[in-house]
Amino acid sequence: MQRKYISVPTLGEPHLASPLDRTSTPGDGAAKFIPTNRYVRHRVELDEGIDDVEEMLFEKSGAREKIYFDPAETRAALVTCGGLCPGLNDVIRSVFMELHMNYGVKEIIGIRHGFEGLNPAEGKPPIRLSRDLLDNIHEEGGTVLGSSRGPQDPAVMVDFLERERIDILFCIGGDGTQRGAHSIHEEIDRRGRRISVVGIPKTIDNDIYYCDRSFGLVSAIAEAQKVLTCAHVEARGARNGIGLVRVMGRGAGFIAAGATLASQDVNFCLVPEVPFALHGDQGLLPVLRRRMLERQHAVIVVAEGAGQHLFQDSPEHRDASGNVKFQDIGVYLKQQIVAYFQEHGPKVDVKYIDPSYIIRSVPANCEDSILCDQFGRRAVHAAMAGKTDVLIGHMSGTFVHVPIPMAIGEKARMSVEGELWTGVLASTGQPKRFE
């Protein structure tokens, strides 16, 4: 088996002793520094006898014994970009607390409203972060810094970093944000500057590659489960009631699938990874009709990116981040269901619910709050050690350093052969394919 060690760029040789109260001595009962040669396997499962597989190993993240930046002279900045997600404030607070309380960095600023804040011609001036300002923000949803979509000129953003004497920039966001972070790094590198750029993955859809679970996902699933419970009550309370719920999930159906399993009241789960037909003997609508004749109620959950193949003739539009604007599959499904049952019977009562903005705006639950804290503190460790153009990933139950170009090369999707989707099929009883 061939091994490929994945390393990330560094600004130079770390030569300063870390101020953290840790040791490298095994068995002394103290917290440990992570050795520079500690790696994590990308693949956990391997088949016996296969020798021609290339095994990727990623640097394990965590505090290093030697650091690159002198905390007393370091100035850091944080920016949050893209749509809202449970846990953004938790990450901001944990990054600040690790920098300020443990490393002793005194100058930490917050960039307002995404990458706009790195362009003085468009954004608001930055704010200085403090313990008083951030004390209770983890109890609230959203981001205290504000957010926005869309890129800015890398040269303009690096000009800003130079003027503000920023040594470290933390970019909290999804793949569009990380593409922007990489372009900032490239401009910094072109100028020969020593500024660290560290990405923290934020995607409620859980679709960043080399990151098994991003923060906010579990909170979103928990909120979606509550909505599905209400949809089930509505469906059973009406004669031939159908509860139709649309949740977030552009290219990946993790929220829809997770909420389905948590709820156990869903009869049909539609995700982007599995195309479906509306008509034909095994199409969604005839199968739904058979369900209604037998049980007189049904609950359907659909991810926003599901069924986009049904709109092939529609013009393509993009948002400020370059993402394709999807057609509203929830409204379309409601229309199709109503029209089908008007023609074929029985008469149905469809309740359509779209809780997307509610779900993404809630505070993080306890499980996500812990994950946020771990992401934030490990991002600080990476930055202080001089790592750059790096994303904090999560795999095999631990945290790793992922080169940003690798992370944005493709998106993660739910495996239709994996246990999550298998569980969905088992709990709903729906066909493997609607065709």
195-238 confidence digits (pLDDT tens): 999 999 999 999 998 999 999 999 999 999 999 999 999 999 99
Are residues 210 and 221 both part of a single domain? Answer: no
How far apart are alpha carbons 369 and 141 in whole angstroms? Answer: 12
Question: The domain containing residue 237 runs over which residues?
Answer: 217-360+417-428
Sheet holding 39-41, edge to edge: 2-6, 54-59, 39-41
Q: Is 205 part of the annotated catalytic residue set?
A: yes
Give 384's Cβ-side CA count (13 Å radius).
Answer: 31
Write down the catalytic residue from 90, 167, 205, 368: 205
Are residues 80 and 181 both part of a single domain? Answer: yes
Residue 135: count other Cβ atoms within 10 Å of its Cβ: 10
Number of structural domains found in the chain: 2
Pairing of strands 268-270, 107-110: unpaired
In a domain, 356, yes or no: yes
In a domain, 254, yes or no: yes
Are residues 159 and 75 both part of a single domain? Answer: yes
Are residues 67 and 179 both part of a single domain? Answer: yes
CA distance to 32, 217, 375, per residue, from 363 (Å)? 31, 12, 17
Are residues 291 and 335 both part of a single domain? Answer: yes
234-280 confidence digits (pLDDT tens): 999 999 999 999 999 999 999 999 999 999 999 999 999 999 999 99
Are residues 134 and 74 both part of a single domain? Answer: yes
pTM: 0.93
Are residues 304 and 239 both part of a single domain? Answer: yes
How far apart are alpha carbons 92 and 80 in whole angstroms? Answer: 9
Contact of 289 with 143, CB cutoff 8 Å: no
45-102 confidence digits (pLDDT tens): 777 766 667 789 999 999 999 999 999 999 999 999 999 999 999 999 999 999 999 9
